[in-house]
Amino acid sequence: MATDAAPNSRDFHLSPKLPMLLGHRRLPETIVEQIIEICFVLVQLVFFCVEGAIRALLPSGVLPRKSVKDDVVLITGSGSGLGRMMAVRFAQLGAKVVLWDVNEKGNLETAKMLKEYTSHVYPYTVDLSSSKEIAAVADRVKADVGGVDILVNNAGIVTGKKLFDCPDELMEKTMAVNTNANFFTAKAFLPQMLEKNHGHVVVIASMAGLSGVAGLVDYCASKHGAVGFAEALSAEVSTLGRDGVHVTTVCPYYIDTGMFDGVKTYSPNLLPILQPDYVVDRIMEAVLTNAEKLYMPRFGYICVAAMSILPSKAGRLLSTHFGVNKTMDEFKGRNAPTRAA
């Protein structure tokens, strides 16, 4: 028979009979206990809402940052775009950087750039649509470098085609790279993080993973999967009591990296096309301060809150007002599905 887990050292107790709601506990026996617990939960709820709002609004550099010096950071999709930029930032902070990309030439170029900051650079050519290849290369990394402390699941592809115009194999590859690869990289590297109670999994998803956009059916589905993966993984890690292992979900709007070349925004003040430097600044801030979620631009927090409580028709009305479903009408992208976030 299962027994209650030992209380975490961070748990707060009102009394021996009133343990904090987090974790296992018995049900309150009296109306007084129920009222006290409800009040306690409400106080925590207000505190966490205020804390989250403050974190979302604070400029970068205010919150204390953790050190990543000598940490092993693995970044997928490191051969270009955000992946390359994040690799440079981590190298500048003294991390050992493992580079994963299917584009061998681009990945080696990134490795060459990082040599200016560190000698600990390890490039690998990996097809992230293949679970077997992920497992095989992960074993090589663990043999060559050791365990990974920070895993950044950044690789992604976009077809930019409407559902009936998109070849089946491209839809399957979109799901494999944008969603499924998260499962297999985490299975490869998370166990060592849990064992050491030290680590971080970062999932570069998208605002398209929180709502639907015309012309991005396969991409939205894949990014919804990435968001769900990150949220469920965070819950699993929390139940294990590993407070030294963190999960961060990043959901940006369109980024000016070439991946979404041709997209337009019809609300540039509220939903601008994001500049890569700004996005990387915010991602690094989120990782170094152990933020759980990051939406960009900041108006995204309001969008997410509104879409979660509004009726579907009201949500579609706002999407139409902001021109969201016209953003892909002039999409060009690159010549082929691209690795980036």
Token pair 């997209």 is found at: 263
The residue annotated as part of the active site, out of 117, 124, 219, 301, is 219
Task: Using the predicted structure, report yes or no on whether residue 137 has a pLDDT greater than 80.
Answer: yes
122 is catalytic: no
Output the CA–CA distances (angstroms, integers) from residue 203 to 21, 164, 227, 300, in the order listed.
28, 29, 8, 17
The answer to whether the CB of 247 falls within 8 A of the CB of 269 is no
Average pLDDT over residues 161-189: 96
Q: Nearest CA to 134 among 186, 73, 82, 205?
A: 186
Q: Which residues contact 187 (CB under 8 A, 6 or more apart)?
A: none
pLDDT at 341: 39
**From 24-28, 74-78, 212-216, 227-231, the region with the lowest mean pLDDT:** 24-28
How far is it, in rounded angstroms, from Cα 334 to Cα 111?
A: 23
Each residue's pLDDT tens digit, 66-122: 999 999 999 999 999 999 999 999 999 999 999 999 999 999 999 999 999 999 999
Specify whether the backbone of 262 is left (phi greater than 0), alpha (psi in -120 to 50) or beta: left
How far is it, in rounded angstroms, from Cα 156 to Cα 341?
A: 5
Place 25 in a pLDDT band, splitting at 50, 70 and 90: low
Place 27 in a pLDDT band, splitting at 50, 70 and 90: low
Average pLDDT over residues 309-314: 89
Bridge partners for 249 per DSSP: 203, 293
Query: Omega of the bond prior to 297 within 30 degrees of 0, cis?
Result: yes
pLDDT at 54: 77
Place 39 in a pLDDT band, splitting at 50, 70 and 90: confident
Average pLDDT over residues 215-235: 97
Structure tokens at 162: 């409407």
User: Is 14 in a helix, a strand, or coil?
Assistant: strand
More confident residue, 307 or 147: 147
Q: Nearest CA to 340 among 106, 161, 172, 141?
A: 106
Sketch the domain layout of the chain as residue ranges: 72-322
Average pLDDT over residues 185-192: 98
Place 62 in a pLDDT band, splitting at 50, 70 and 90: confident
pLDDT at 12: 37
DSSP 289-327: TT-SEEEESTHHHHHHHHHHHS-HHHHHHHHHHTTGGGT
Task: Using the predicted structure, report yes or no on whether residue 2 has a pLDDT greater than 80.
Answer: no
The 3-state secondary structure of 188-212, one letter per residue: HHHHHHHHHCCEEEEEECCHHHCCC
Residue type, 134: I
CATH number for 72-322: choose from 1.20.1090.10, 3.40.50.720, 3.30.365.10, 1.50.10.10. Answer: 3.40.50.720
For residue 193, count CB atoms less than 10 angstroms from its CB and return exposed for 0-12, middle for 13-18, buried for 19 or more: buried
Torsion angle, CA of 277/318/230/256, rounded to 10 degrees? -20
pLDDT at 17: 43
Average pLDDT over residues 190-217: 96
More confident residue, 175 or 56: 175
How far is it, in rounded angstroms, from Cα 323 to Cα 300?
A: 15
Task: Using the predicted structure, report yes or no on whether residue 26 has a pLDDT greater than 80.
Answer: no
What is the reported pTM? 0.84
Question: pLDDT above 70 covers what percent of the chain?
Answer: 89
How far is it, in rounded angstroms, from Cα 255 to Cα 271?
A: 11
pLDDT at 7: 42
For residue 1, count CB atoms less than 10 angstroms from its CB and return exposed for 0-12, middle for 13-18, buried for 19 or more: exposed
How far is it, in rounded angstroms, from Cα 40 to Cα 108?
A: 54
Each residue's pLDDT tens digit, 240-262: 999 999 999 999 999 999 899 99
Place 53 in a pLDDT band, splitting at 50, 70 and 90: confident
pLDDT at 85: 98
pLDDT at 29: 67
Average pLDDT over residues 135-143: 98
Task: Using the predicted structure, report yes or no on whether residue 268 has a pLDDT greater than 50.
Answer: yes
The answer to whether the CB of 101 falls within 8 A of the CB of 82 is no
**Arithmetic mean of pLDDT over the chain:** 88
More confident residue, 16 or 224: 224
Average pLDDT over residues 287-294: 96
